[in-house]
A and B are shown apart, each in its own frame.
Chain A
Amino acid sequence: MAELFERIGFLQQGPFAVPRWEALFANMDTLWEGALVTLLVASLGLVLSLALGTIIGVMSASQWKAPRAFARAYVEFFQNTPLLIQVFMIYNALPILIKGMFIPVIVIGIIGVGMYHGAYIAEVVRAGIQSIGRGQLEAALSQGFSYVGAMRYIIIPQAMRVVLPPLTNQAVSLIKNTSVLAVIAGGDLMYAGDSFAGTYGHYGPTYVVVGLLYFAMCFPLARLARRLESKARVA
């Protein structure tokens, strides 16, 4: 095994040399801490985005004009501006506009990805609702359900099955997008990797391992999406 390593040039010198890997594995604590922050921001951000996405999605499929217009504006705003700029603005511009309004970076992360992916999830939810035949809603209304009640008990449960796979895909994107926090010194996995790579210069192994850690977080979700998709097809 050792002989094999000696023959592989890029393990002997350059950015991927063995001593660099050793230096990284001796200092994995920084990366683990970053991964924890990423997990925290991703999970709370996901909760926020699901809540926002469902509400806005229902609004955009609603029969009333005002909520539809609001939902449209929300979705267009968040879908058509980069998350990076949104986060940068909350970080740097907000404290200038409103003196002393320092939102903690982790909260910015949660709000940032939560609202951003909320917009995408809203579109998924709207498509899901519209995929359920209009007859279902009319039948529910004729049975004496209110509009909200019909949504709550008849339409959304059926739509849920349709929207689950695309929702899981959104969750995967959301995890990866938490890496924008690195730009505002957010202490997440990407920031920890940047900091380590910058300080010690072992950028080769660092970014490989950071990439693998993101993969480890996203892959189970992506698998889940596939499973749900095949299930939905069977049902």
Chain B
Amino acid sequence: MKKSALLSLLLVFVLAFSALALIGCGTEEPAEPADNAAEPAEAASEIPAEVQAIVDSGKLRVGVKADVPNFGLQDAATGEFEGMEIDFAYALAERMGLTRDDVEFQPVTAKTRGPLLDNGQLDVVIATFTIKPERLEQWNFSDAYYQDEVGLLVKKDSGIESLADLDGKVVGVAQGATTRDAVQAEADALGIELEFLEFATYPEINAALESGRVDAFSVDKSILSGYLTDASVILPEGFSPQDYGVASKLGTDELREFINDTLDEMNENGTMDELLTKWNLG
């Protein structure tokens, strides 16, 4: 009786997981034959099949940050997104032949952006996503559209003036971000000890800094600038330059090429510079 109960329970587990996995596969599998079928048509039009599939669906689904001023910020009052990455998404859509209204934004965090690409809920992620070797094995990345470095935000009255002053102190970082490794490497080089606490969102790290739970808030400098107040300061030091790229699902090489072409075009005709100036990122 007991044994059979345990066994049936195990069975339920296995079934539940395989059902989940099958649903995951089911959405993936039909895509492949469709791709192949569309390939002959590709030569005829300029837009590759993968991009055409997005155009046909009538909307470009973009994962963006909702809490990073100048890059991707959601206006609390209107619900509208704004920032450099938002405008870039519009430019991408327009080059595909879609309109601004066809762009569907979904807020993501460092933790959710990868899974949302994998399970097909998003076409691309433009969300201060740093290009890293490990990540290249999991997702496709375009060329870099922005370069930034990791910085540290501290309270003015803490008296901390450099990374060395943080010896034995606590640094708040975002889960799933590259910051922790970057700061740790720098700390090792200086021979100092740091403790790291990971949080899911930037406002949570900021709250922890305000309450004194962490002594420094560390993330890319451009993101930090959005959290700067009269009582805090960004340390002049910066380390490990970070390249931001547009991510898409692994294997969507045509889409990546299309994004790279768009980037090249925007760099050449000066629209990228305009965008950066518009959002104070120049």
Contact = CB atoms under 8 A, between A and B. Distances in A.
Interface of A: 9-10, 13-16, 91-96, 100, 102, 183, 185, 191, 194-195, 197-201, 203, 208
A102 B199 CA distance: 18
Contact of B134 (A10, A13, A201): A201
Identify the interface centre among A92, A94, A95: most chain B CB within 10 Å of its CB: A92
A197 B213 contact: no
B25 A93 contact: no
B198 A198 contact: yes
Contacts of B31: none
Given A92-B213, A194-B198, 7 more contacts: A9-B25, A13-B250, A14-B118, A91-B213, A92-B208, A199-B180, A201-B138
Nearest to A203: B115
Q: How large is the interface on B (under 10, 10 to 19, 20 to 34, 35 or more residues)?
A: 20 to 34
B211 A183 contact: no
B116 to A, nearest CB: 11
B114 A10 contact: no
B134 A102 contact: no
Contacts of A203: 114-115
B111 interface: yes
A193 to B, nearest CB: 10
A183 B200 CA distance: 7
A96 B213 CA distance: 10
B232 to A, nearest CB: 15
B207 A92 contact: yes
Contacts of A92: 207-208, 210-211, 213
Contacts of B180: 199
A194 to B, nearest CB: 5
Contacts of A200: 134
Contacts of A13: 250
A198 B21 contact: no
14 contacts: A15-B118, A92-B213, A93-B211, A96-B210, A102-B212, A102-B213, A183-B204, A194-B198, A197-B176, A198-B110, A198-B175, A201-B135, A201-B176, A203-B115
A35 to B, nearest CB: 17
Nearest to B199: A185
A195 B198 contact: yes
Nearest to A212: B13
A218 to B, nearest CB: 13
Given A91-B211, A95-B213, A194 B17 contact: no
B24 interface: yes
A222 to B, nearest CB: 11
User: Ordered nearest first, which 6 A-B pairs have the shortest CB separation?
Assistant: A198-B176, A185-B197, A198-B175, A92-B211, A95-B211, A10-B21
Interface string B189-218: 000000001111000100110111100000
Interface string B229-266: 00000000000000000000010000000000000000
A9 B213 contact: no
A96 B211 CA distance: 5
Nearest to A93: B211
Nearest to A11: B21
A199 B114 CA distance: 11
Interface in B92-151: 110-111, 114-115, 118-119, 134-135, 138
Contacts of A95: 211-213
Contacts of A9: 25, 28-29
A95 B210 CA distance: 9
Contacts of A191: 198
